[in-house]
Each structure stands twice: as structure tokens, then as C-alpha cells.
Structure 1
Amino acid sequence: MAIVFVLVAVLVLGAFGALHWYAWRRLVRDTTRGPGLARRVGTGVFIAGPVLLFAAFAAERGGAPFWLQQTLGWPGFMWLALALYLLLALLAGEVVRPLVRRLAERRAGAAVPVVAPSEVRKPEPVPAGAGEPEQVAPETVTEPSVPAAVDSVPAAADPSRRLFVSRVVGGAVAAAAVGTVGYGTYGVVRGPRIKRVTVPLAKLPRAAHGFRIAVVSDIHLGPMLGRGFAQKVVDTINSTQPDLIAVVGDLVDGSVKDLGPAAAPLADLKARHGSFFVTGNHEYFSGAEQWVEKVRDLGLTPLENDRTELPYLDLAGVNDVAGEDEGQGPDFKKALADRDTSRTVVLLAHQPVQIHDAIDYGVDLQLSGHTHGGQLWPMNYVAQAANPTLAGLERYGDTQLYVSRGAGAWGPPVRVGAPSDITVVELASRKA
């Protein structure tokens, strides 16, 4: 296994290096005139970017001092997003490059003057009259107008034309990538938007018609998204005036020691029937037991393979599958067995893949997160292949599954094509 891991790591690093070399070649080497200051700066950027990225990963996974994680996190993880969209834009640039080249050639061709053959008068002696000086009669001689000079213009201009094309395409590529990442970052740091979904449930009593659950997942408090972001999430949830709040995992990326102050605003969550929490996979990277106790201190009720009876419905929660490595995996039997099956049951489970067990236990509605909706297009296609539902509401037999795109972001605080959300799920009784 160790050999396989090393081989995979070498292949990944090789591909990563090759992609960076390709981007450097197109954006730095092809757009600069020799080894000047511009090329040195551009080369430095393409070396520093991946170095900071790997350093940020190592600092986060290795438990480095929190200040160091913050220092490395922003430039390192932002480079990951920027490199992705530079590569995609460069591939698109290869398609338009021939068109730009042809346009440049036409423009250059129109600018070169066409030199017609010139008429030159060459003097020729003629017979002189008596006492008169010798006269010279004009004779028209046609001479070619240096065709070699005309032919040499395109050849001389060709390196400049190639530089012009590379700069036009490279500039467009850089602008597209920076603009995409900038807008995606703004979409995260401004805070999630509210999304509303109505879910009809067959067994829900008429008295519970309109019961509202605020679902938030994947907040990912960490070195880049801190207390200010948590406050935005809390304010947005409270503005919906929900009956119940469900925090369905991946609250944090770090220890209680480092992120306890960042999570403090969660104590201000307000809902008539309380706030509930289940673990996500990132809690098990961050000290799940400590975080369960922390959220309990903040006023949330952890549902660790547990169930609580509320007026008109049961609310259950299971641990994330990542807890299996620590002997704390999901236990559907413990959470859902021996209940009154005539009552509606809503299950909180971080990962959509847990829907298969939910079906077996007759769950009416499962609320999940985990996918981020793909977070960075085109990674949504990868996330869709790995999950039964990428985002939104889908039905699996008698069980419905709702997947939130999440409020925050993992890695780079950037979202493209997958806007963050806090979803208000309004339950509807078919008896109403």
C-alpha cells in the first residue's frame, strides 16, 4: 500500500507540475521579451503559488500554530482556485488563439504599403548643336522597387506579432481567471443567501402544516472564515424566524482551542423548538468529542445516533460515516428503532449517501449537506458522481432527501456555480 501511495503521489505531483509549467509558458514566457524583470516576477509567482498551497495544506493537517495557518491559508488556498481557472481559461484560449492570430495577420497585411514599380529618368547624351553645350535627353527606365524589402516585412514583424497574440490571449485569460475567483470569493464572504423549499409529507398532521426548519451545513469555520462569518450565518438564520434549526455537520476546520471564539455567535441562535447538531466528516479531523461538548455549551443539542420527540414529529440524527474510524460511526438502529412509525420522522445526516440506510428505516425526510453543490465548477460533476443527490430535493421511494449547498467553503473561500445557502424547509401536510 505504501508503494501505491508513493506512486500515486508522484503521478499527482507530476501532473500538477506539468500544468503549472504549461500555464507559466503561456502566461509568462510567451508574453515577455527575454529574461527581464517581468519574466522574473511572473516566474516567482508561479513558484511561490504552489509552494504556499502545499504549505497551507501541511499547516492545517499538521496542527501548526493557528496564526501560521491563517498566514498561509489565504494565499495558498486562493492559489488553488486561481490555478484551476487559469488552466480552464488557457484551454479556452487555445481555441481562440488561431482566430486572434489571423486577425493580427490581416491587420499587419493592411498596414504594409504596396510599393509599385517606380519610373526613373536616366540621362543619355544627345548630339550637341554648334556652340551649344551637350544636352541630355530623358529616357524612361523602369526599375523594380526593392521587392526584397517588401517581402521581408512580414518575416521581421512575425516575432512581434506572436508576442502581440500571446499578450492579448494571456491578458484575457488572466482577467477571466481573476474575475471569476474574485466574484466567487465575494459570494462566500458576503454570507449565504436564504433559500426556501416546501416539502409535503404524507404523515405530517394538519397542525404541523407550515413547520419551518432552518437547515445550515458546511459552515467550515477555520483560518479564513472566522467569527465575523459565523455572526453573518447566525443573523441570517434568525431573520427567518424558524421553528427549528438543524446544523448538519462540517461546522469547523480546526480545534476548539483555535476556533472556540469563532463559534461563539452560535449561542445566539433562536428557534421555538431549539437548535440541533450532527457531526460531519470534518469534525472528526478536528476533535469531534470536544466539538460536541462545545456546541452543547453554546446551547445546541447534539444528536449522536439519537432521537427526540417534538410536537407532531420525531427528529433524529446520526453521526457521520467518518466516525467509523474512531468507533463513533452512524447507528441507524439506535437512532430510529422502536419508534412510533405512525409519526413523521425527520433525520439529520451529514452525507447524502446515508439515504440508503434512511430508506430501510422508513425515514420521511433526510436533511444533509457535504457536497457544497460542487463548490467550484466544473467540480460539481465530480461531486455529482460521488453522491446520490448533489443539491436540492429528490425522492427515493417513500423517503425524500434534501441536500443543502452549505453556507461556507472548504479550502479556498470561493464558490463558482454553486452559491452558498441557508435553506428554510417548510413542511406541508397533505391533510391541510
Structure 2
Amino acid sequence: MVIVFVLAGLAAVATLVGLHWYVWRRLVRDTTAGPGLVRRVGTVVFVALPVMMIAALVAERTGAPFWLQRTLAWPGFLWLAVFIYLGLSLIAGEAVRPLLRRFLDRRTAAGAAVPPVPLRKTETVPAVSSEPQEQPTETPATPSTPDPGASPRPLSAPSRRLFVARVVAGTAATVAAGTVGYGTYGVLRGPRVKRVTVPLAKLPRGAHGFRIAVVSDIHLGPVLGRGFAQKVVDTINSTQPDLIAVVGDLVDGSVKDLGPAAAPLAQLRARHGAFFVTGNHEYFSGAEQWIEEVRRLGLHPLENARVELPAFDLAGVNDLAGESEGQGPDFAKALGDRDTSRASVLLAHQPVQIHDAVEHGVDLQLSGHTHGGQLWPGNFIADLANPTLAGLERYGDTQLYVSRGAGAWGPPTRVGAPSDITVVELASTA
């Protein structure tokens, strides 16, 4: 087993190095005429940023000093996003290169000509004579005219290759910078409110229109801090929900480092309170400490537990990552012995827990975890790993709603998967 992990690790490193070599070659080596300052600086950048990217990931996972995590996070994680879109753009550029070369060849063949020769002085040789010598006169050079039968002189192959390489590389760099810049702005400005209506057959008419503000995947950490948490809290409170559901992945770090960043959660306001269940990242960050911290901030942790609200049962289960610590999900404990004639809403971080929810007769499961893919085309991979990537779907008599999340993990960037806080409005069908 150890050998398998070692081989897998070596393969991953080799792939990462190979991809960076390809991007460096297309972006730096092919766009410079030869060794020089520009190529040396570009090479240093292409070594330093990948090292910082890996160091940022390792520092977060190993609980390195928080100042070091913050120092590495911005350049390291942003490089990850930029590198993805540089690579994709350059790969797309491979199809453009031969077309651009062919276009240049046709333009050269159609209009190239030898430029006219500028004016020059005639050379004179002093004559050995007793007669007065004439002063040399300036005569215009006769411009050379192209031979109609001769082929025009084409652009040299090295110049053509350099021009094409620079056009493709410049376009790729512009596309990557623009994509990541806009995607980062979308995260930092804060999540937008999304509204969805979910009909529940067992919901009493008196509870028609009950509003649950669902927020997941805030990911407070070395990049997204207290200011971001305040934006999330203000956005939730502006919806005036009846209940708030925080469905996991609140943090990426310890209470010691991120307690001040999470402090604005104490300002959450809802008529029936705010509830919390763990996500997989809580188990990387000290789940027990965070459960106590959110309780101190006024949230109600649901650790495989259930509360009976006037209109429906609200239950919550631990994340699957808790199984490694003996704190995994326990559906029987959370949902057993309840009155099945009442509507039930389950908070569970990962959408894959829907199958257990169906078996236990849950009416609606609220989840997060997927980020909607976060960075296109990551949505295709995330879609394969989850029964629902984002939005509302039905599984038998159980409905599943998956939020794309409020924050971002790794790069503070989203492409094709905008962040959201969802107001789920329950509707009675009675």
C-alpha cells in the first residue's frame, strides 16, 4: 500500500512538473529570441510560483504558523487558478498556430517586395591629370524593381515562429488574467442571494412560506477573513429568514487562528435561530473545538441530532469525514423514533448522503460541498463525484437542494460557478 501511495505521488509530481514545463516553454522560451534577462526572469517566476503554490497547500494542511499561511496563500493559490487557465488557453492555441502561420505565409506571398534602395553617393576615383577635375555629383540610386517572374521574399522562419508564439502567448496570458481577475472579484464582493421554492406535502398550511437561509462552504482561512464573514452575515440577515442553516465547511484553520474571523457569526438573526452541521474541512481544523466555538457564538450544532420545530422536524448529521475520528453520521440517532407524519428537513454537508436520507424518509435535504465545481471545467469532475452538483433535484419522495457555497477553497476564485446564499421557501401543498 505504501508503494502505491509513493508511486501515485511521484506520478502527480511528474505530471505537475511536465505541465509547468509546457506552459513555461510556450509562454517564456518560445517568446524570447534567445537567452537574456527576460527569459531568466520568466524562468525564476515559473519556479517560484509553483513552489509557493505547493507550500501554501502544505502549510494549510499541517497547521503552519498563521502568518506563514497568509504569506503563501495569496500568491500560491492565485497561481493555481492562473496556471489552470494559462494551460487551457495555450492548449487551445495549439490549434490556432498552424492557421496563423498559413495566414502569414499567404500575406507575405501576396504583398512582399524588396524595399527601394535609398539615395547614395557615386564613388569617384581621383584621376591623374593636369586638367581640372570635375566635382563629384550626387546621383539618385536606381530603385530595384521586382522581377515579375521571381517569388517574393517571405518572412524568415525564425521571425515568423517568434511572432506566432508571441501572439498566442499574449492572448493566453490576457485570457487567463481576465478570467481569474473577474472570478476573484466575484468571490471577494460576497455571495449573491438566490431564492428557490420547495413544496412539501406534509408541511402545514400555517408554515407556508417558511424561509430557510442556507449557507455552506464559507471557508474562512488565510485568504477569506473577518471582512468576508461580515459580508456573509449581513447578506443573510438582509433576507430576514425564519431559520438559518450553516451546512458545513465554515473554516480552514484552528479556532486559535480563525476565531476572530468567525466572530461576526454572533450577529446572525432568525426567528427560529441558526443551526450548524460539520463539513469535511471542520475535521481538518479541529471539529470539536469549532463545535464549541459556534455554540459560543449563538449557533446550535446538530451532531446527529434533531429538534422539533412547530411546523417540521429539523435534523442534522455529521460529515462523512468524521468517521475517521469516530464521529461519522448517524442517521438512526438523528431521525429514529420520530413522527413520520411530520415534515422533515435534514442538514447534511455532502450530497452523497442523500441515499441514507431517502431510506429514513426525509422530505428535504440541504447540502453544500460541491462549490458547483468552483473552477470550470472542474464542474464536470464534481458532477461525476456527486449525485447533484447544484440546485434542486428529487430522489424518490425526498428532495435534495445543493448550494454552490458562499466562499471558495484554495484560490479565492470562481469561474462558471458563482457563489450564493440560498433562501429556501417551503410551500405547503395541503
Q: Distance in 2 between matches of 1:104 and 1:60?
A: 49
Sort the Cα spacing of 1:114 and 1:59 in 2 relative to 1 into closer, same or farther, 3 A: closer
> What amino acid maps onto 2:310 in structure 1?
P
* Structure 1 residue 233 displacement after superposition: 0.2
| Counterpart check, 1:190 vs 2:189 | yes
Sort the Cα spacing of 1:165 and 1:269 in 2 relative to 1 into closer, same or farther, 3 A: same
Mapping for residues 144-293 of structure 1, pairs under 5 Å: 153-154=153-154, 157-293=156-292
Q: Distance in 2 between matches of 1:54 and 1:151?
A: 54
> What amino acid maps onto 2:83 in structure 1?
A
Q: Distance in 2 between matches of 1:152 and 1:65?
A: 66
Residue 128 of structure 1 corresponds to none
* Structure 1 residue 145 displacement after superposition: 7.6
> What amino acid maps onto 1:70 in structure 2?
R
| Counterpart check, 1:85 vs 2:85 | yes
| Counterpart check, 1:402 vs 2:397 | no
Q: Distance in 2 between matches of 1:274 and 1:108?
A: 73
For residues 29-70 of structure 1, give each alpha carbon's deviation from its aligned partner in whole angstroms, at most 9, with x where no partner exists: 111110111111111111111100111111111111101000
Residue 51 of structure 1 corresponds to 51
Residue 133 of structure 2 corresponds to none
Normalising by structure 2, report the TM-score: 0.91
Residue 40 of structure 1 corresponds to 40
Q: Distance in 1 between matches of 2:371 and 2:145?
A: 69
* Native 8 Å contact 2:56 2:76 kept in 1: yes
Q: Distance in 2 between matches of 1:4 and 1:56?
A: 25
> What amino acid maps onto 1:26 in structure 2?
R
The percentage of counterpart residues that share the same residue type is 76
> What amino acid maps onto 2:200 in structure 1?
L
For residues 374-418 of structure 1, give each alpha carbon's deviation from its aligned partner in whole angstroms, at most 9, with x where no partner exists: 000011111110100000000000000000000000011110000
* Structure 1 residue 108 displacement after superposition: 2.5
Residue 21 of structure 1 corresponds to 21
Q: Distance in 2 between matches of 1:19 and 1:209?
A: 54
Runs of 4+ in 1 over 6 A off after TM superposition: 144-147
> What amino acid maps onto 1:203 in structure 2?
K
For residues 11-42 of structure 1, give each alpha carbon's deviation from its aligned partner in whole angstroms, at most 9, with x where no partner exists: 11111111111111111111111011111111
For residues 206-260 of structure 1, give each alpha carbon's deviation from its aligned partner in whole angstroms, at most 9, with x where no partner exists: 0000000000000000000000000000000000000000000000000000000
> What amino acid maps onto 1:406 in structure 2?
G
- Alignment partner of 2:156: what SS? helix
- Alignment partner of 1:104: what SS? helix
Residue 68 of structure 1 corresponds to 68
> What amino acid maps onto 1:358 in structure 2?
A
Mapping for residues 260-409 of structure 1, pairs under 5 Å: 260-409=259-408
Q: Distance in 2 between matches of 1:60 and 1:399?
A: 37
- Alignment partner of 2:214: what SS? strand
* Structure 1 residue 311 displacement after superposition: 1.0
* Native 8 Å contact 2:236 2:421 kept in 1: yes
* Structure 1 residue 151 displacement after superposition: 5.8
* Structure 1 residue 146 displacement after superposition: 8.7
* Structure 1 residue 152 displacement after superposition: 8.5
Residue 138 of structure 1 corresponds to none
Residue 417 of structure 1 corresponds to 416
* Native 8 Å contact 1:218 1:369 kept in 2: yes
- Alignment partner of 2:394: what SS? strand
Matched pairs, number: 401
> What amino acid maps onto 1:259 in structure 2?
L
Q: Distance in 2 between matches of 1:47 and 1:107?
A: 39
Instruction: For structure 1, list consecutive stretches of 5 or more residues without a partner in the other structure.
Output: 116-143
Q: Distance in 2 between matches of 1:226 and 1:104?
A: 51
Residue 30 of structure 2 corresponds to 30
Q: Distance in 2 between matches of 1:278 and 1:108?
A: 67
Residue 426 of structure 1 corresponds to 425
Residue 105 of structure 1 corresponds to 105
> What amino acid maps onto 2:424 in structure 1?
V
- Alignment partner of 1:419: what SS? coil
> What amino acid maps onto 1:294 in structure 2?
E
* Native 8 Å contact 1:365 1:400 kept in 2: yes
* Structure 1 residue 359 displacement after superposition: 0.5
- Alignment partner of 1:28: what SS? helix
Q: Distance in 1 between matches of 2:145 and 2:292?
A: 91
Normalising by structure 1, report the TM-score: 0.91
* Native 8 Å contact 1:104 1:165 kept in 2: no
Bigger Rg, which one: 1
Residue 121 of structure 2 corresponds to none
